Amino acid sequence: MKILFVAAEAAPVAKVGGMGDVVGALPKVLRRMGHDVRIFLPYYGFLPEKLQIPSSPIWRGKAMGQEFEVYQTVLPDSNVPLYLLGHAAFARRIIYGDHDEYWRFTFFANGAAEFVWHYWQPDLVHCHDWHTAMIPVWLHRHPSVATVLTIHNLAYRGPGRDILQRITWCPDYMQGENAMAAGLHFAHIVNTVSPTYACQIQTPEYGEGLHHLLSWIKGKLRGIVNGLDTDVYNPATDKYIEQNFSIKTLERRVANKLKLQEESGLEVNRNRFLLGMVSRLVEQKGIDLVIQTLDRFLTYTDSQFIILGTGERRYESQLWEISNRYPGRVSVQLVYNEALSRRVYSGIDAFVMPSRFEPCGISQLIAMRYGAVPIVRKTGGLADTVSFYHPYSERGTGYLFERYDPLDFYTTMVRAYEGFRFKKDWRKLQIRCMKQDFSWHKSALQYVRMYKEAIDQKNALLRQQDNPSSLVAIAG
């Protein structure tokens, strides 16, 4: 199959969240399986520092009254062709957060559609989140190309229809009150990044106002758990950590804990229970639960806590206040630093992820890969990837709680603290975590089946158009 991934992010060159991990890893696996997979990405201003990009474009196009160029290079450490849409709107050194975000990414999506119409026609276009959700609407007029739309985070639905009508072409057949809703209507298949989240978004609590539409299209809604690039995230070879280790040499892991404590200003003590987070500091990630619970937990135990990430100023300020009250026990690193994040994963005893909602989550997969026991809320992809730890039967991979409630979260952390005291059992738990297979291969097979299903649906529609009497028969 010929498949074009169109997305706002692709690791390792442009990554903010889980979307970047998926777009940066899945195409590599699919190409190894024999498929012609390519990526279409904005040409951000910082990319020349990370890629060798030819000075001459391979194609020029026009969208929304603007001219643009497309440059071709290769995703690092792969043979995946990478197309970059060049325009002044993307020359800035940011991905998200600017005043014209709706216009920029609608233009990007329109440029990608033009690219498919006039330069390289794949069998299927795989779109990611609202930034590319209008592509299935526009490609509806090009029925020889199938479309899949992946929901990474439904909380972001893109511009409303009134804005879209002012800035771009909205065909008269278009349905939906925003970009995401329009894409849900017209994509041949819609998927999200875990089976549990695919069910949850059909409810008012998680559906972000689109639950009725998602329930209506549930026949084409799928859920596939994200994978992990196990070559990139490998504690046995990771160049960013103090001491490489594996399941067979797990005793070496303590060197990473001692180094992390020293580096982050914590008391250097191998016997302290060290919890950690690597997260955006936003409501979705359960930061309010952490802030409400941490004082009590630190008073009850002699534990330590480190958090790495950036986000909302109110959360940053409150976390700083807690760190000032607990010098040597709480470290707050308000930066995005990939190397430091690897040292956190490899050095902490337990990884905390009390998300309010979580489409899939990559962090808990990395944590388990590096021997950090997860403490998570049982929601979305967390429920699909972390199983409840039963110490007596020696089953399960982590500590889970269900209600989004400070007391439930606190109780779960205390359970983990008590479990850490039993070193032999804790080591067995770490080994079970590290043995989990979260490689992309299994998920990639499910994606291939889904792509074939989308292409079959597209072909069925073509046959119906060629034989109008079949439409009458179907209607009857």
Residue 120 has what pLDDT? 97
DSSP state of 349: S
Over the stretch 324-340, which tens digit does the pLDDT of each residue have? 999 999 999 999 898 99
Residue 143 has what pLDDT? 77
Q: Which long-range contacts (CB under 8 A, 24 or more apart) does 355-358 make?
A: 355/284, 355/285, 355/286, 355/379, 355/380, 355/382, 356/283, 356/284, 356/285, 356/286, 356/404, 357/155, 357/197, 357/200, 357/206, 357/284, 358/197, 358/284, 358/382
Phi, psi for residue 440 in degrees, rounded to 5: -75, -15
**Cβ atoms of 321 and 295 closer than 8 Å:** no
**Domains along the sequence of the chain with CATH:** 2-227+442-475 (3.40.50.2000), 250-435 (3.40.50.2000)
Residue 47 has what pLDDT? 97
Residue 361 has what pLDDT? 87
Please say if the pLDDT value at position 64 is more than 70: yes
Over the stretch 205-234, which tens digit does the pLDDT of each residue have? 999 999 999 999 999 999 999 999 898 899
Confidence of residue 98 (pLDDT cuts 50, 70, 90): confident
Please say if the pLDDT value at position 472 is more than 60: no
CA angle 142, 146, 149 (to 5 degrees): 115
Residue 430 has what pLDDT? 98
Please say if the pLDDT value at position 465 is more than 90: no
Which is more confident, 149 or 142?
Answer: 149
Over the stretch 383-433, which tens digit does the pLDDT of each residue have? 999 999 998 888 999 999 999 999 999 999 999 999 999 999 999 999 999
Least confident of 54-68, 139-153, 273-287: 139-153
Residue the block writes with tokens 């990009």 = 53
Q: Which of 346, 353, 340 is nearest to 370 (CA)?
A: 346
Structure-token pair, residue 16: 């903010």
How far lies 77's CA from each of 13, 25, 104, 182, in Å?
A: 11, 11, 28, 35
| pLDDT above 90 coverage of the chain, percent | 88
Average pLDDT over residues 238-252: 97
Distance CA(12)–CA(50), nearest Å, equals: 9
DSSP state of 80: -
What mean pLDDT value characterizes the chain? 94
Residue 260 has what pLDDT? 98
Over the stretch 151-174, which tens digit does the pLDDT of each residue have? 998 989 999 999 999 999 999 999
Please say if the pLDDT value at position 475 is more than 90: no
Please say if the pLDDT value at position 282 is more than 80: yes
Confidence of residue 16 (pLDDT cuts 50, 70, 90): confident
Residue 46 has what pLDDT? 96
Evaluate the CA torsion angle 128, 81, 365, 17 in order and state its sign: negative
Residue 467 has what pLDDT? 66
Residue 470 has what pLDDT? 47
Over the stretch 287-317, which tens digit does the pLDDT of each residue have? 999 999 999 999 999 999 999 999 999 999 9
What type of residue is 437? D
Q: Is 49 exposed, middle or buried (0-12, 13-18, 19+ CB in 10 A)?
A: exposed
Over the stretch 356-375, which tens digit does the pLDDT of each residue have? 999 998 999 999 999 999 99
How far lies 355's CA from each of 228, 276, 414, 470, in Å?
A: 20, 14, 18, 48
Residue 434 has what pLDDT? 97
Residue 473 has what pLDDT? 38
Please say if the pLDDT value at position 261 is more than 70: yes
